[in-house]
Amino acid sequence: MSGRVLVVDDSEVTRAILSRTLRGAGFAVLEARDGAEGALTALRERPDVVVTDLEMPTMDGFPLLRLLKGDPLCAHIPVLILTSHAEAASRFWSLRTGADAYLTKDYRPQELVAIVSRLAAASHAAAPTLDATGADDPSARLGPLDVLARVARHLDTSLLRATVINTLLERGMAAGDFHEAGRAALETLSEVVDSLVLAVAVAEPQAAMTQIVLQEPLGPADLDRLHGILARHLEVPAGAAMDTRMSGELGVPSAAKTAGADLARLVRRPLSVRGARGILMLLPREPQHFALVAADLLDDLLRPLTLVLDNARLSQRLHEMSTLDGLTRQLNHRAIYERLTEELERARRYKAPLSVILCDLDHFKEVNDTHGHLAGDAVLREGAAALRSCLRATDVLGRYGGEEFLAVLPQVDLPAACTAAERLRQGLADFPVMLESGERVAITGSFGVASRDELAAHVTGDLLVSLADRRLYAAKAAGRNCVRPREPEGSA
């Protein structure tokens, strides 16, 4: 096996033994007495393999290893750590820092030759093609100060990456759900990657979530285009809902940088999230500068970003397990009551209206008795989806118990709530449930409506729901499939 090997060790005896063994195996050997001399020789000569000690004067093996693996001139050169250290921590850190192999100095000569031969073969395959023009190679003019400057730049870059990763993990791991984690992560990225728009999205089998951070105002049309691009890359089915949150300002952009065809410059990075498809997108302010300066840093942040998002999704699932009804995927009884209490307190503080709607699915027992409990489950599931689709995004819906559902409507007075209840009633009636047997089951509901303005200033959730419940029974007594109190005349 032919090739050139650089041996870096402060012991003259050790260098002599290594050189004799490697030359006997057919290698040409270069020698250096410490890490600084080894770095200078590696940058100038670019050997096929570097064999280095760890503890040396001037510069030890770890800075040398980081420099070699971080500098484009010699990043392809395999490094074998050869040291008297046998501690697990030394081996771990050597391999994590970029070493390709690790041997202690009680090695057998044939073992050393075998490893160096393997590394030399890999080096030949990975070596960059030399410039055929014969242009002057700048590495040939490097001096000791140039090497130290390269070490300093590499350490600065490593410190920056470590700091950003630590900040990303610290902010993201404190988040309670996907959107909070996504916003924290994107805001961290925006501090080191100069972008006009940043977005992260994840598509799971039954849900898709998107978090967008705008560094400059973005026009509504371009926001819709961005949303469509994310959906296409995640293969979200047409018409499927994406839970999208945004921080920043919508409006007319101050420059044309975020408009029209410029979205074609979006940088895309897939995220390897578990059990889902994920993507990170950003629109660099200066694409050429991004490619030269920030692209590698961004790639180094993908793994911690994925870890943050996976952790947030797990936290969100655990929270949903405690707050969502397993069948209908709406809030359970405890969670909807907690939200009602929160919204009542907010309405009291700001002297704002608030109403509730209590719905009972009509003749639900007959569905179970006639078609079976699986059909009853389908009616509950589809009925809840129909109710949810007829509410505003700011309204809250929960399964109150059995076949009853409670909707909480902030900023809505009694007349508007009666109108909303009529919309819910019509929405149920318009969408019968198709069973697996092919049968269609019509759904109707009876509705009771109540508003905090009808009761005392310090109305409680119990009093408000009790009033809605009495009106629900009045709707049943009136023949079901109706709203009480009635929708005001002339309301839309």
Q: Per-residue pLDDT tens for 61-117?
A: 888 888 888 777 788 899 999 887 666 777 787 887 789 999 887 889 999 999 999
Instruction: Look at residue 116 in the predicted model and tell me its pLDDT.
Output: 94
For the chain, the first-to-last Cα distance in angstroms comes to 87
As its CATH architecture, domain 171-318 has 2-Layer Sandwich (3.30)
Class of domain 4-129: alpha beta
pLDDT score of 267 more than 70:
yes
pLDDT tens-digit series, residues 392-446: 877 889 999 999 999 999 999 999 999 999 999 999 999 889 887 888 899 999 9
pLDDT at position 133 is 40
Q: What DSSP string runs through 302-371?
A: HHHHHHHHHHHHHHHHHHHHHHB-TTT-SB-HHHHHHHHHHHHHHHHHHT--EEEEEEEETTHHHHHHHH
Distance CA 479, CA 418 (A): 18
Mind listing the pLDDT tens digit for each residue in 200-209?
999 887 678 8
Instruction: Collect all residues with Cβ–Cβ distance below 8 Å to 98 and sequence separation of at least 6.
Output: 65, 66, 68, 69, 79
CA 389, 393, 399, 404 dihedral sign is: negative
Identify the residue whose tokens are 């610290």: 170
Q: Which segments of the chain belong to CATH 3.30.450?
A: 171-318
Query: What is the gyration radius of the CA atoms in the chain, in angstroms?
Result: 33
Distance between CA atoms of 203 and 225, rounded to whole angstroms? 18
pTM of the model: 0.52
- Reported as half-sphere exposure (CB side, CA atoms, 13 A), residue 472 has a value of 24
- The residue among 48 and 293 whose pLDDT is bigger is 48
Residue ranges of the chain assigned to CATH 3.40.50.2300: 4-129
Instruction: Please name the CATH architecture into which domain 333-484 falls.
Output: 2-Layer Sandwich (3.30)
User: For position 98, what pLDDT does the model report?
Assistant: 84
Q: Identify the pLDDT of residue 245.
A: 81
Which residue has 């408000």 as its token pair?
A: 464
The pLDDT score that the predictor gives to residue 240 is: 59
The residue with tokens 């995004």 is: 393
Question: Which 8-state DSSP code applies to residue 458?
Answer: T
Nearest C-alpha neighbor of 94 from the set 56, 64, 126, 49: 64
Question: Could you tell me which of 342, 476, 339 has the C-alpha nearest to residue 396?
Answer: 339
